[in-house]
Structure 1
Amino acid sequence: MTTAHVENALSRLVDEASVRDTVARFADAATRGDVARFRATWAEDAEWTIGERVHAVGVDDIVSTFRRLRDERDFFVQFAVQGPIEISGDEATTSILCHEAARGPGETYYRNHSVTADRLRRSEKEWVFTSRSFQYLWLDTSPFTGDAFKLPAGF
């Protein structure tokens, strides 16, 4: 391998790791309800779609939508399994398999399996979503059992 090939391969691996990190930071922020961290995963002009019910355009609308969906939950967790990543210059696409579960407010329940269609752009610091669309594969809103626990501060 030539030096140029090694440098290109290394650059691609760094970009792929950064895209994976953005996906992981999104899932972590959503699970923790961390609005600032959630906001940092988005471009200012981004678009977010969940099924046919949720559509937000621009980071302020996205954050407002996130707060509406997340703030009153007793419990929420998102598991994200990284799919293939395609990178072209300063833009990337990827697809994620997700499982989510939530309870609250009150006696409302939510479990799903979904797949995402994601577009990202390289920013000054990291990769950020320009478009994120969740398509349900399975959705269950029936009650489930179990106890919810708040994460301790700093955990």
Structure 2
Amino acid sequence: MTTVHNEDALSRLLDEAAVRDTIARFADAATRGDTDRFRATWAEDAEWTIGERVHAVGMDDIVSTFQKLRDERDFFVQFAVQGPIEISGDEATTSIICHEAARGPGETYYRNHSVTADRLRRSENGWVFTSRSFQYLWLDTSPFTGNAFQLPAGF
């Protein structure tokens, strides 16, 4: 391999790692209910869709929607399994397989498996979502058992 090929390969690997990091930061912020960290994963002009129920456009609408979905939950957790990443210049597309579970407010329950269609772009703050769409594969709102625990501060 020539030096140019090595540099191209290294650049691609670094971009793929940065895209994976954005996806991991999204899941972590959603699980923790951290609005500031959640906000940092989005472009100002982004769009967010969840099934046929949720559609938000622009960072402020997306963050407000997140807060409405996340507030009053006893707990929420998101697991994201990374799929292939396609990068073209400063834009990327990817898809993840996702599992979420939540309880609250009150006696409401939520578990799902979904697939995302994601578009990201490189920004001065790293890769950010320009579009994120969750398509349900399975949704269950029946009661489940177990105890919810608060994460200790700083954990």
Quote the residue 1:59 is aligned against: 59
Mapping of 1:13-24 within 5 angstroms?
A: 13-24=13-24
Which segments of structure 1 move beyond 6 Å, counting only runs of 4 or more? none
Quote the residue 2:79 is aligned against: 79
Deviation for aligned residue 1:14: 0.2
TM-score for the superposition, normalised by structure 1:
1.00
Deviation for aligned residue 1:132: 0.1
Describe the superposition over 1:42-80 as per-residue Cα deviations: whole angstroms up to 9, x where unpaired.
000000000000000000000000000001100100000
Quote the residue 1:125 is aligned against: 125
Quote the residue 1:154 is aligned against: 154
Quote the residue 1:42 is aligned against: 42
Describe the superposition over 1:65-99 as per-residue Cα deviations: whole angstroms up to 9, x where unpaired.
00000011001000000000000000000000000
Deviation for aligned residue 1:125: 2.3
Deviation for aligned residue 1:19: 0.1
Quote the residue 1:9 is aligned against: 9
CA distance in 1, matches of 2:57, 2:72: 22
CA distance in 1, matches of 2:71, 2:16: 31
Quote the residue 2:139 is aligned against: 139
Identity %: 90
